[in-house]
Structure 1
Amino acid sequence: MRRLIAAALVIVLALPAWAGARHTVLMDVMRISELSHILHDEGVIYGAALDDSWLEGQGGAAWAQQVARIYDVSRLSEGIRAGIEPALQGDALELAITFFASDLGQRIITLENSARRAMSDLAIEEQARKQYTARQGTEDSRLKQINRMIDAGDLINRNVTSALNSNYQFLRALVDADVYTMSDAEILEDVLAERAAIEADTANWLGAFLTLAYSPLTLEELTLYAEFGETEAGKSLNNGLFAGFDPLYEGISYALGQAMAMNMTAEEL
């Protein structure tokens, strides 16, 4: 079986109009629309990798169009909002808005989005990974603050779990389409066999990304951001983001599996 390359139903809860307006403000100051376009572009790149590894590069324009539709920008944005809204209320919501509306908060969003775009270039990603690896195991003060952020948000474990669940849904779709014959236990075994590799890769990519993104910040600014991540507001925001991303990407992965099954079946005809 080809190796998966690890990278929904959107339920909008009924909330008071005022709360909805404040969540819109948070979405705006965090520039979720901009992030959604970046995630769309990442999805297109991932789709091309799936084409190479599963369809031998023969997916063509039809596959590319299917992938682009699956990574619909509105779907991504609304999926993120669906997680944030119930997770952030009251004071936590207001503190998150205040932080990201500040000059520092806006600089952080700009740096994160720029780094995310940059790391779509494999050469830049490789260089960022090398630089991060060279700093591991040292007494680097900046790396300590980045590790605080990773620990506060349980970012490695949560990203690994998300990747495994997404891989499961991709295979589940192929099984449902009768491309493969596997039990749930066999799908799970196949997915979990790559856990160690995914965990190592996730830890390295995450450290490289954060190191690259925050390199222009002073140590004081980086410390302030790490401290925000340890507050109730910071943790609630992190919880909300994962609550949005997890079902969103599980749905996307299942849709990719369905599209892949259609293309693989067509190849056999």
Structure 2
Amino acid sequence: MYQRVLLPLALLLALCAAPFGARSAGAQAADAALAEALALPELFSIMREEGIAYGDALAEDLFGGAGNARWRAEVSAIYDVGRMYPAFLDTLGSELEGADTGAMVDYLTSAEGARVVGLEIAARRAFLDDSVREAAEAEVEGLRAEDAPRLARIEAFITSADLLESNVANALNGSLAFYHGLAEGGAMPESLTEEEILGQVWAQESDIRAETETWLYSYLATSYAPLDDAELDRYIAFYDTKAGQDLNRALFAAFDRVFTGVSRELGVAAARQLGGQDL
């Protein structure tokens, strides 16, 4: 269920989680068990690849090319899993204080839960190939034209877990952080006010929403295609439980906090790159 915050659009925040040692050994062990059940190490490896690809696309948009060696090195450092992942775990653990993490791990490590997590990871990795993602989008359009019941299930899941709205909110936070990074790095006019920056960010909302919705439907349809309806219904039902809702909320909060900072750092790095060009 962690798939939601991971759009390249959502990019990212200053790694400001509490020190890892501040949590008890037992709490850290529970966090680690949950992270393994969610396959978060594999997910962060994929996100690093997504981030580096996003850095290339950003260079094309901002610099008119793939960026130089310094830019690529900075993007690689920003998406260092060794930095991002521990900070994410700290934040996730803090968000889950008092929650029933045992119930989360029990379901996610069950045969059915583990299978679904594996399908989500496999689809996420497959989507690194643009042609796979585009084919999935076309498949969803076909399901929509047929008014397929499977698409209705996915829509209900997106609504009940608040996947679209939460993703859009995180993406807007990431965009705002990127602008702040540009400003911090001196690439924005000093006369530009916070209200004007917010206006520029909000102007992107409809495009972000449309892209996020397209990605969510195609990603979830691909992930859950091997499941029968009963299996998918049970997975959705887990996220309707108190434990599932707590996990969903905590994951969104942790991704937002960690990746908003990454976005700010990308803005600062982009400002340095722009400052070194002959404009």
Q: TM-score range by the shorter chain?
A: over 0.9
Aligned residues: 265
Cα contact 2:18–2:90 (8 A) shared by 1: yes
Indicate whether 1:6 and 2:9 are aligned. Answer: yes
Give unmatched runs, 5+ long, in structure 1. none
Q: Hey, what's the Cα distance between the residues in 2 that align with 1:76 and 1:168? A: 20
Which residue is equivalent to 1:34?
42
1:58–1:46 CA distance, 2 compared to 1 (3 A): closer
Which residue is equivalent to 1:124?
132
- 1:71-107 Cα distance to aligned partner (Å, 9 max, x none): 1112232233133213335562011100111111221
Secondary structure of 1:268's match? Answer: coil
Q: Hey, what's the Cα distance between the residues in 1 that align with 2:161 and 2:94? A: 18
CA apart distance, 1:43: 0.2
Q: Hey, what's the Cα distance between the residues in 1 that align with 2:266 and 2:183? A: 13
Cα contact 1:10–1:78 (8 A) shared by 2: no
Q: Hey, what's the Cα distance between the residues in 2 that align with 1:208 and 1:67? A: 27
Amino acid at match of 1:6: L
Mapping 1:110-149, distance limit 5 Å: 110-136=118-144, 139-149=147-157
Q: Hey, what's the Cα distance between the residues in 1 that align with 2:84 and 2:159? A: 26
Q: Hey, what's the Cα distance between the residues in 2 that align with 1:133 and 1:154? A: 22
- 1:112-151 Cα distance to aligned partner (Å, 9 max, x none): 1111111121111111111112223755332233223212
- 1:212-265 Cα distance to aligned partner (Å, 9 max, x none): 011111111111101001111111111111111111111001100111111111
Cα contact 1:160–1:195 (8 A) shared by 2: yes
Amino acid at match of 1:200: A
Cα contact 2:17–2:88 (8 A) shared by 1: no
Cα contact 2:57–2:66 (8 A) shared by 1: no
Mapping 1:1-269, distance limit 5 Å: 6-7=9-10, 8-12=14-18, 14-89=22-97, 92-136=100-144, 139-181=147-189, 182-268=192-278
Cα contact 2:164–2:212 (8 A) shared by 1: yes
- 1:39-93 Cα distance to aligned partner (Å, 9 max, x none): 1010001000001111111512221111011011122322331332133355620
Identity %: 34
Q: Hey, what's the Cα distance between the residues in 2 that align with 1:91 and 1:175? A: 39
- 1:15-38 Cα distance to aligned partner (Å, 9 max, x none): 332222111111112121111101
- Superposed CA RMSD in Å reads 1.8
TM-score by structure 2 length? 0.89
Give unmatched runs, 5+ long, in structure 2. 1-7
Runs of 4+ displaced beyond 4 Å: none
1:24–1:265 CA distance, 2 compared to 1 (3 A): same
Cα contact 1:83–1:242 (8 A) shared by 2: no
Cα contact 1:152–1:230 (8 A) shared by 2: yes
Amino acid at match of 1:16: S
Q: Hey, what's the Cα distance between the residues in 1 that align with 2:141 and 2:251? A: 27
Cα contact 1:79–1:245 (8 A) shared by 2: no
Q: Relative contact order (C-alpha < 8 Å, sep 6+): which is higher?
A: 2
Q: Hey, what's the Cα distance between the residues in 2 that align with 1:83 and 1:151? A: 25
